[in-house]
Chain A
Amino acid sequence: MESDKFLIAGKHYLSRLLVGTGKYKDFKETQTAIQESGAEIVTVAIRRTNIGQNVKEESLLDFIPKEKYTYLPNTAGCYSKDDAIRTLRLARELLDGHNLVKLEVLGDPHTLYPNVVETVEAAKTLIKEGFDVMVYTSDDPIIAKQLEDIGCCAIMPLASLIGSGMGILNPHNLEIIIDNAKVPIIVDAGVGTASDAVIAMELGCDGVLMNTAIAAASKPILMAGAMKKAIESGRDAYLAGRMKKKFYQADPSSPTSGLIK
């Protein structure tokens, strides 16, 4: 749809599917899966390099060209606002002044549930420093609104726990978040299969960010294509406006008159 634009921090995107680059067999598979998904925004993690080891190892950046994709450096693995801020400052230096980032501050290594208190504090500092912050958070509508009010450019509530594939556990919270928001709402984490992505889009989410649902599928490339279609299909269904549900009352699709008697 020509007029249905997806705008993040002043830039238009054609694809409403955002994908991670982790957990693939190799860089080639990462590359092919991302191509197949049609995603334009891809997340990357920032980690220490192996000093003096693997000197000829290939780099992710060689397979996912910066000219073709918008990089979204994340703060995965950060459990405090200071670690998250530090990581994203390094990311900005690494990516030549790139300001669009994904902030996540985790609260606990078992559930990877976000620590929203630290997240809010980190977001304030990062926004002051000129970052465009897309923020991973819980599906709490109050926190989501606070993060928007601080100035985050996209709010990314979880569908369920990171990497769990449990799907959308609280669609009604997502609806409240969507209804209250003036910035894009992107479901991040927990999507397991295509129907989960469709549901997120039908609820009115502006996009979905996923990694494991594609990378951990038996055939990641096939799943990447399935997710592309799911996102498009869900968006179209949302825009089309679904029919009202009629409980316990059928309504025939064929004429009730002219029946052969």
Chain B
Amino acid sequence: MKIYINGQQKSFEATEICLTTLIEKLAPNEKKFAIEYNGEIISKGNFPQTFLRDGDKLEIVIAVGGG
């Protein structure tokens, strides 16, 4: 299946993957981030129950320097 993460297409062998597992795979050292899943904010408490499927869109954001 294909998932769009921060605008980039990523392929996975599984047909569904839990959000917690995905984050551990992709950004294991990211301590502070927020996620938008198909246009909706999803809180960290809901990561384990969120299963990504083909065509899903994720935005993963962090705080950076800015004025």
State the A residues within 8 Å of B (CB): 20-24, 27, 30, 43-49, 51-52, 55-56, 59-61, 71, 73-74, 76, 86, 89-91, 93-95, 162-163, 209-212, 215
CA distance A30 to B66 in the complex (A): 11
**Interface pair A211/B67, CB less than 8 Å apart:** yes
User: A52 CA to B35 CA in the complex, in Å?
Assistant: 16
Which residues 11-67 of B sit at the A interface, judged by CB distance below 8 A?
Answer: 26-36, 41, 43, 59-67
- Report Cα–Cα, A71/B41, bound state, in Å: 20
B34 touches A93 (CB 8 A): yes
Contact of A47 among B27, B41, B62 (CB under 8 A): B62
CB-defined A-B contacts under 8 Å, sample of 18? A20-B66, A21-B66, A22-B65, A43-B67, A47-B62, A47-B64, A48-B61, A49-B30, A49-B61, A51-B5, A51-B60, A55-B28, A61-B63, A74-B66, A76-B66, A90-B59, A91-B63, A94-B62
Pick the residue among B10, B26, B63 that contacts A71 (CB under 8 A). Answer: B63
A24 with B65: CB separation less than 8 A: yes
Number of A-B residue pairs with CB-CB distance less than 8 Å in the complex they form: 103
B59 to chain A: closest residue by CB: A48
A21 contacts B26, CB within 8 Å? no
Whether the pair B65, A23 counts as a contact (CB closer than 8 A) is yes
For A56, the chain B residues whose CB sits under 8 A away are 29
A73 adjacent to B63 (CB under 8 Å): yes
The interface residues of chain B lying within 8 Å CB-to-CB of A30 are: 65
CB distance from A104 to the nearest CB of B (A): 10
Q: Report whether A44 and B66 are in contact in the complex, using a CB–CB cutoff of 8 Å.
A: yes
Instruction: Check A47 against B67 for contact (C-beta < 8 Å).
Output: no
- Give the distance to chain B from A113, nearest Cβ to Cβ, in Å: 16
The answer for the CA separation of A62 and B60 in the assembled complex, in Å, is: 19
Q: Which of A45, A55, A162 contacts B65 (CB 8 A)?
A: A45
Nearest 10 pairs between A and B by C-beta? A45-B66, A20-B67, A211-B67, A94-B34, A93-B34, A21-B65, A48-B6, A22-B65, A44-B63, A22-B66
- State whether A90 touches B32 (Cβ < 8 A): no
A44: B residues at CB distance < 8 A:
63-66
